[in-house]
Amino acid sequence: MKARMGLCFSLLLLGLQLWLNGRAYRGPGLTTVPSGAEVRVFRTGGRLSAAGGFSGLTEEIALGHSPGPLPLSQADMPARLILRLPGYQDNEVKITSWPPPEPIRLSPKFPLTPLYYSLLRTPGWWGLALLLGTALSTLWNRRLQQRLQQATAIRLAQGELRPGDRVADYTVERVLGRGGMGSVYLAYSSSGQPVALKILRTSSRFQEEARTYQKLRHPNLVFLLDWGQVHGQLYLALEFIAGETLASLIQKGQPIELSRLLADLLSALTELQRLGIVHRDLKPDNVMIQNGRARLLDFGIAQSSGEASSAGTPGYSAPEQLRGQPVDARADLYALGALLYHAASGRPPFPGATPAQILKLQSEGTFEPLQGPHAALIHSLLQPDPNGRPSGPAELQE
């Protein structure tokens, strides 16, 4: 594309230059191509010299500029003239008749000299040059934008957006995470607002996830700012929370205030229960800590209470959920217990090597008991039978 545009532009300049070189401004006297050359004559012995060479030269006499009129006549012939024009080679010529029958061509010092000096001498040409430059720039930008959009569409479909890629009103800066449902990027809107831009791999959950997010207006839940479709791909623009995930804090061994974490997540789950929503994927990776406050993220597999699906994360999702049975708020309480266990001990409660081993430990309720002020509560949340757990988050807030 760049090569073709460069070739077209070069051919345009070449054509314009050839046209300018071919223009001859006819006048009553000497004509040069291009016009405007300073014309000087060599004077020797007090008269115009027609002698061979320049021996005996005493001075140059300026006669004027082409195309004239010039103070020469046939009586002054033959004569030796020197023609000078900025950007062109000096041209020494001998003329034998007046006016010369053909225009005298000057040789440029540089390839674009004719174009430059024509524009310099003729202000009207600047308008044409500006118009041509604007047209070429517009065409170039349009084709460039088309190419960029095509490349972005391909990377969007592959889930491999790069910094600078534009999706709807958002410009991607970097990837925040990838998962089975899609990828999440830090992006900025045209107004400069940072967002977490989530690109969904499939459309089956899009409408439901968007509707779920639209209901959420709670300080411990992430907000949906915008959603739509571009290049055939679905996106959600979510509130960007500048902080660290709970998983990152646990991995770094940083101290975690369990009481504050428990209060924040119970508040979020109580709001979800009020709306009839089961998160179904509560785990350290989906909890963001910002200035000590916990925010619950990623409602990609959230469903209404009572619905059944086996999607979830072994070791955190409730056994009945992983078996594909209907779930309610008690399934999120189970995941809360597993999350608190991990945060308190630094290790997950069910460290199996495979999902099947983990589910077996969960179904048996086999985990190493905790010690501490929150141990009893966490143990009650990790009961494999949902009837053995509290009825909902609101009960724990009383």
DSSP string over 75-101: GG-SEEEEEE-TTB--EEEEE-SSS-S
The helix, strand and coil proportions of the chain, stated in percent and rounded to the nearest 5, come to 40, 25, 40
Name 156's Cβ contacts closer than 8 Å, sequence gap at least 6: 165, 167, 199, 230, 231, 233
- Catalytic one among 165, 264, 281, 332? 281
Report the C-alpha gap between 48 and 24 in whole angstroms: 27
DSSP classification of residue 308? B
Report the C-alpha gap between 166 and 185 in whole angstroms: 11
Report the C-alpha gap between 72 and 24 in whole angstroms: 20
Annotation marks residue 76 as catalytic: no
CA 200 from centroid of its chain's CA atoms? 19
Tell me the pairing of strands 293-296 and 287-290.
antiparallel
What are the backbone dihedrals phi and psi of residue 198, each rounded to the nearest 5 degrees, phi first?
-105, 120
End-to-end CA distance of the chain: 68
Do 197 and 237 meet the contact criterion of CB atoms below 8 Å apart? yes
Mapped onto helix, strand or coil, the DSSP state of residue 123 is: coil
DSSP string over 241-296: --SEEHHHHHHHT----HHHHHHHHHHHHHHHHHTTEE----SGGGEEEETTEEEE
- Map tokens 């589910």 to a residue: 359
User: Burial, 244: exposed, middle or buried (Cβ in 10 Å; 0-12, 13-18, 19+)?
Assistant: middle
Q: Which residues are catalytic?
A: 281
